[in-house]
Amino acid sequence: MGDFIIDVELAKLDVAILRYVDDLGIQLPKVVKFTARLLNTDLSRLTPPRSLAQGRAAVRRDINRAVLALDHTKIKLEALKEAVLERKYDVVRTILSHMRDSWLAGYDLVTFNPELHRSARDSRGRVQRSKRRLTLDLSAHSRYVKTVQGRVGSTRAWWTPSARVLGNSAPSWISRHVPPGIAVVDNLHNLKHPRILMINAGKGVGVIDRSLIATAIRRRVVSMTRDVDQVLRGRASRYF
């Protein structure tokens, strides 16, 4: 996946930004920084997951869709429970072959390997449906789930360096993943051409729906236009 870049200057928001400058007499760098800060917030919110809990749940769901681990503590049939506990693949496979009315029917029994999950992911990094695979390696499966869950927030973390420049912050479950060496192109103090470049090259950034970004930008334009109109009608600005 390529880098996801939002370049905030006098592009999509030029008319709304210039109205702040021309009609309200506010300096261009201040308006651009204010606009970029709100867009940075929108970008972070639109980058999955919405919360740490949601991210962890999504990881577990996707891994279980790729390969589900049988937990002997949740099995009532004693023969199957014992075979799963002792990881007797041949015995479990035989028992399952006779359980044609069970939801387990039709599942393949496999030795756990992280590649089972990685290869099942689509271009957006998701596992859309069950691959109908079972493993008896519950411990290895659980460790892998925890490892992947530990990466939750790493894609959203790419917005954090520019967020700090703009005066925003991020919760620790996101900020702890900030990759070293992310360069933020900050030219916000340039009176004629203020600019900031926000780049996200994190894995999974492709899941961001570009139409949602376009909607966020349109809403920002509408909000800024409304603010200017209200000030010109004698109402004080909410932001400046």
Residue 134 resides in a domain? yes
What's this model's pTM, rounded to 2 decimal places? 0.82
Q: Can you spell out the DSSP letters for 134-179?
A: EES-HHHHHHHHHHHHTTTTTTGGGGHHHHHHHT----HHHHTTPP
- Residues 18, 33, single domain; the answer is yes
Cβ atoms of 161 and 182 within 8 Å: the answer is yes
Q: End of a domain among 149, 184, 209? A: 149
Q: Give the count of domains, the chain.
A: 2
**80 and 133 co-located in one domain:** yes
Residues 184 and 66 in one domain: no
Let me know if residue 200 belongs to a domain. yes
pLDDT of residue 3: 58
Domain end call among 149, 182, 208: 149
92 with 20, same domain: the answer is: no
Question: Tell me, what amino acid is at 235?
Answer: R
The confidence score (pLDDT) of residue 238 equals 54
| The token pair that represents 149 in the structure block | 């869950």
Task: Examine residue 139 and state whether it is found in any structural domain, yes or no.
Answer: yes
Same domain, 75 and 90: yes
- Tell me, yes or no, whether 79 and 142 share the same domain: yes
HSE on the CB side for 35, CA within 13 Å?
39
In the prediction, which pLDDT does 50 show? 92
Q: List the one residue out of 139, 190, 185 whose CA is nearest residue 166.
A: 185
Of 132, 149, 166, the residue at which a domain comes to its end is 149
Our measurement of the distance from residue 208's CA atom to the centroid of its chain's CA atoms, rounded to an integer in Å, reads 8
Each of the 240 residues of the chain gets a pLDDT tens digit; together they read 445 666 554 455 778 888 888 888 889 999 889 888 998 999 899 899 999 999 999 999 999 999 999 999 999 999 999 999 999 999 999 999 888 888 888 899 999 999 999 999 988 888 999 999 999 999 999 999 999 999 999 999 999 999 999 999 999 999 999 988 887 888 888 888 888 888 888 887 877 777 777 788 888 888 888 888 888 887 555 555
- Identify whether 240 is part of a domain: no
Both structure tokens of 134: 């079972």
Q: With respect to residue 88, please indicate whether it lies within any of the assigned structural domains.
A: yes
Residues 68 and 110 both lie in one domain: yes
Q: In terms of residue numbers, what domain contains 131?
A: 52-149
Give CA separation, 210 vs 34, 159, 229, 233, in Å.
Answer: 22, 16, 29, 35
